[in-house]
Structure 1
């Protein structure tokens, strides 16, 4: 296994869900953290917890991934000791609505594309040259099974995650003559705030997504990220695809717990 102690990991969307779970795993491994999210209060709370629990070195940045000018200034805005990012985890992403393209607002399309596609691409570009110069580093893009198995109502979201899959594969070719690794992690149904965001605060609709099943948890995906990040120097994990046990696709989900509740 490769030790992550002393390495700098930058995680986007770190204030909750998968991003927060990854931060806990990396902090436990002795990684220095740059945590990025929109919600400064949550970031501050997470920093305090990680510092208290693991004596972690944590830098937080309150940033909306759609704020492209501020995003471009990120490398120079980081303090000494955090500028040389060794592990970039592009986790920030969202889906908005599920009513089909014809029912998706132009603003929601812009938000999904800017967050899921543009921001992730810019971050890789901002930090990859430093990794290549040092001849070490790891880019981990959080994708989705929606990149592979598209579904009605998910046109823009599925499209953005398909981009992440293609982007991840292509840059692995770009970096092949180096020790920089590139990984995509593509989960199925994970119970986080993702569905609450997708349904814009409609908790009933969000909860129905996971009703009657045992979904993946944020900690499950953090385990996968940690696995990829700690492989020996000669091992590059190209992709990890995972489903909940009673899930075979975004639309083919068995709900055995719901059946038992009716018995």
Structure 2
């Protein structure tokens, strides 16, 4: 019997990349997904010996791309044991009255619809086999709201609601469903939110010790390696310096 197979979206950087590597270190074969093919190719070089690796290039916003890529997997990759829905982004940080419509579309399309498209393509195989696990990477923004977070918070609240709904719908099939909701994690997140403006992005992680992508990957591995009768349903994880979405103890 071969290794279990993990399917990780948004694997070109940050939490997704860390999850792919950590799961591989724990004996999973990896299907890494993302938009940046060169990074997915390079990721193979970091994979440990003894695991199989393949990648799919698609934008989760495009349901045709998603369906085509996943349906094109060869037979050896079709029985996916673990789906990590990690792909997601924040775009802009504006009050609702001046928010950018394109930013809103991007967040809803990636964070909500993208998660749905990938899940829809993979869940039927899990229900047919009556086994599998889904881990949705949400955010503390899915548990509370903060100034100027409006649509991003709404999209992550949707992820939380979908996670809880999936757990109900998939319960008869023995499929585990989990949500992980991180606070401040030092990744490309803020650089994307501020549209490449490093001057605005860099202070977000200054003056305290933020979470790292590996901290989230550790939780994913722990959840994925629990006994069959155990599911971590919902985990909120913050750096020690962070009390909630708006309170962070900084030494500035």
TM bin, normalised by shorter chain, reads over 0.9
Cα offset, 1:54, TM superposition: 2.4
Kindly indicate whether residue 5 of structure 2 is the aligned counterpart of residue 12 of structure 1.
no
In structure 1, the partner of 2:113 is: 118
Greater alpha carbon shift after TM alignment, 77-86 vs 178-187: 77-86
In structure 2, the partner of 1:46 is: 43
Q: Please, what TM-score do these two structures have when normalized by structure 2?
A: 0.96
In structure 2, the partner of 1:87 is: 82
In structure 2, the partner of 1:226 is: 221
Looking at structure 2, the residues matched to 127 and 79 of structure 1 have their Cα atoms a distance apart, in angstroms, of 14
Aligned to 1:35, the other structure's residue is in SS state strand
Given candidates 190, 198, 204, the residue that maps to 1:203 is 198
Cα offset, 1:108, TM superposition: 1.4
Residues 27 and 54 in structure 1, CA contact (< 8 A), matched pair in contact too: no
Kindly indicate whether residue 111 of structure 2 is the aligned counterpart of residue 132 of structure 1.
no
Looking at structure 2, the residues matched to 84 and 115 of structure 1 have their Cα atoms a distance apart, in angstroms, of 25
In structure 1, the partner of 2:238 is: 243
Given candidates 19, 24, 31, the residue that maps to 2:21 is 24
How many matched pairs? 252
Aligned to 2:19, the other structure's residue is in SS state helix
Given candidates 136, 139, 152, the residue that maps to 1:141 is 136
Kindly indicate whether residue 63 of structure 2 is the aligned counterpart of residue 68 of structure 1.
yes
Q: Please, what TM-score do these two structures have when normalized by structure 1?
A: 0.93
Looking at structure 1, the residues matched to 243 and 199 of structure 2 have their Cα atoms a distance apart, in angstroms, of 23
Looking at structure 1, the residues matched to 249 and 62 of structure 2 have their Cα atoms a distance apart, in angstroms, of 40
CA-based RMSD: 1.4
Residues 87 and 110 in structure 2, CA contact (< 8 A), matched pair in contact too: yes
Aligned to 1:176, the other structure's residue is in SS state helix
In structure 1, the partner of 2:34 is: 37
Residues 138 and 182 in structure 1, CA contact (< 8 A), matched pair in contact too: yes
Stretches of structure 1 lacking an aligned partner (at least 5 in a row): 259-263
Looking at structure 1, the residues matched to 61 and 171 of structure 2 have their Cα atoms a distance apart, in angstroms, of 30
Looking at structure 2, the residues matched to 132 and 61 of structure 1 have their Cα atoms a distance apart, in angstroms, of 23
Cα offset, 1:103, TM superposition: 2.6
Cα offset, 1:179, TM superposition: 1.7
Greater alpha carbon shift after TM alignment, 39-48 vs 212-221: 39-48
Cα offset, 1:83, TM superposition: 1.4
| Runs of 4+ in structure 1 over 3 Å off | none
Looking at structure 2, the residues matched to 11 and 184 of structure 1 have their Cα atoms a distance apart, in angstroms, of 14
Looking at structure 2, the residues matched to 147 and 163 of structure 1 have their Cα atoms a distance apart, in angstroms, of 7
Cα offset, 1:178, TM superposition: 2.3
Kindly indicate whether residue 247 of structure 2 is the aligned counterpart of residue 252 of structure 1.
yes
Looking at structure 2, the residues matched to 72 and 107 of structure 1 have their Cα atoms a distance apart, in angstroms, of 24
